[in-house]
Amino acid sequence: MVLSAIDMGALAERLAMDEVKGRSPWTDARIRFMRNKAAVAGMFLLIIVSAFAFFGEMFAVSTYDYIDFSRSGDVLHLGRPSLASGNYFGLDDQGRDLFARTAQGTRISIIVGLVGASISVIVGTLYGAVSGYVGGRTDQIMMRIVDILLAIPFMFVIILLLVMFGRSLSMLFLGIGLLSWLSMARIVRGQTLTLKNREFIQAAQAAGVRGFTIILRHIVPNLLGIVAVYATLLVPEMILTESFISFLGLGVQAPLTSLGDLISQGAKNMRYGTIWQLLFPLAFFMVTMFAFFFVGDGLRDALDPKDR
């Protein structure tokens, strides 16, 4: 009797807790995301790859730019991947440790992807929200500018910038930043158009809140879902762009490297039998891309109300 009274008390308490703990749309989204096996696997892979990219060099026998002259003459036989020598991924054609170089290259690629996506989030969201919220002629002009910029063959322009103003990481960021925000601005504008006639915006307007404050405080927070989705899908696209440019030998400066540069070096040297020089960077490139795609798709399924 006493026991069951305690039980009942506990049950009532639990019920009350359940009632108080309301589920926000973000909680819902997280639950949906966690149910998506591919997305969770992608997230897991992403953590592993990032850990490798940022901490992998600590476990390498030498730094990414140290040239082992004693073996650089005969990499095919002396530079094979082996656990004994500590060159887990082997040596590259110049006698540098490929493990350290792959870690460093993956890091650059991920950073480029994240920076490109951040620029697109900040610039694209503000531009699109302002354009959509203000509307009218301003909107027309702003969107026409985006249309014009989208028609420019950007891959060529980035290469042009890199050649004209010197190859550097900041120039690469600038070039990729110039390109990345355009489609984001379009998407955000479309969302803003559907938001701006809702009651809570009208309430803010009626209360005399300034336009820019409305955009920052009421419109942008409601765009976060779709922005997060497209930003995640933009990261692999940016990595692809950077790798493309680096593959052509126009990206980061040696001895720094990136995944595209490593793939290019590996592809040049595979005729001589040093196939590991292609396969390890290639594997990391593909795994990184896969992981980002899966996470992006998972986020879209979790956050996009259309597919619910």
Partner 1 sequence: MFSYIIKRLVVAIPTLLVLMVLSFLLMHAAPGGPFTYEKKLPPEVLANLNAKYGLDQPLWRQMVSYVWGIIAHFDFGPSFVYKDRDVNEIIAQGFPVTLHYGSIAFVVAVVSGVLLGVIAAIRQNTWIDYIAVGISIGAQVLPNFVMAPILVLVFALWLGWLPAGGWEGGELSHVILPVIALATSYMASIARITRSSMLEVLTSNHVRTARAKGLPEHKVILRHALKPSLIPVISYLGPAFVAMITGSVVVDMYFSTGGIGKAFVDSALNRDYAVMMGITLLVGFLTIIFNLLVDILYAWIDPKIRY
267 binds partner 1 (CB under 8 A): yes
157 binds partner 1 (CB under 8 A): yes
Secondary structure letter of residue 92 according to DSSP: -
171 binds partner 1 (CB under 8 A): no
Query: Taking contact as CB under 8 A, which single stretch among the options 83-91, 93-101, 220-228, 279-287 is the one that binds partner 1?
Result: 279-287
233 binds partner 1 (CB under 8 A): no
155 binds partner 1 (CB under 8 A): yes
232 binds partner 1 (CB under 8 A): no
284 binds partner 1 (CB under 8 A): no
- State the helix-helix crossing angle for 98-119 and 37-55, rounded to 10 degrees: 120
d(CA 291, CA 299): 12
Torsion of CA 198, 199, 200, 201, to 10 degrees: 60
Enumerate the β-bridge partners of residue 96: 67
User: How big is the chain by its Cα radius of gyration, in Å?
Assistant: 25
Contact 301, 228 (CB under 8 A): no
Which of 7, 28, 147, 304: binder of partner 1 (CB under 8 A)?
A: 147
d(CA 155, CA 183): 15
d(CA 19, CA 38): 32
262 binds partner 1 (CB under 8 A): no
d(CA 231, CA 120): 7
109 binds partner 1 (CB under 8 A): no
Which of 62, 102, 232, 243: binder of partner 1 (CB under 8 A)?
A: 243
Contact 105, 133 (CB under 8 A): no
Q: Interaction with partner 1 in 116-145: which residues (CB under 8 A)?
A: 144
Which of these, 118, 183, 195, lies nearest to 149 by C-alpha position?
Answer: 183
Which of 5, 17, 164, 207: binder of partner 1 (CB under 8 A)?
A: 164
d(CA 171, CA 238): 14
Residue 157 has phi, psi (to 5 degrees) of -65, -40
152 binds partner 1 (CB under 8 A): yes
244 binds partner 1 (CB under 8 A): yes
Q: Which residues contact 93 (CB under 8 A, 6 or more apart)?
A: 75, 265, 268, 269, 272, 274, 277
Write down the least CB distance from residue 100 to partner 1, Å: 22
105 binds partner 1 (CB under 8 A): no
Nearer to partner 1, 178 or 231 (CB): 178
Write down the least CB distance from residue 4 to partner 1, Å: 49
d(CA 177, CA 112): 10
Contact 293, 37 (CB under 8 A): no
159 binds partner 1 (CB under 8 A): yes
156 binds partner 1 (CB under 8 A): yes
148 binds partner 1 (CB under 8 A): yes
Which of 55, 59, 165, 200: binder of partner 1 (CB under 8 A)?
A: 165
54 binds partner 1 (CB under 8 A): no
d(CA 178, CA 221): 24
Nearer to partner 1, 104 or 288 (CB): 288
Residues that contact partner 1, how many (by CB under 8 A): 36
Binding site for partner 1 (CB under 8 A): 144, 147-148, 151-153, 155-157, 159-161, 163-165, 240, 243-244, 247-248, 250, 260, 263-264, 266-267, 270-271, 275, 278, 282, 285-286, 289-290, 293
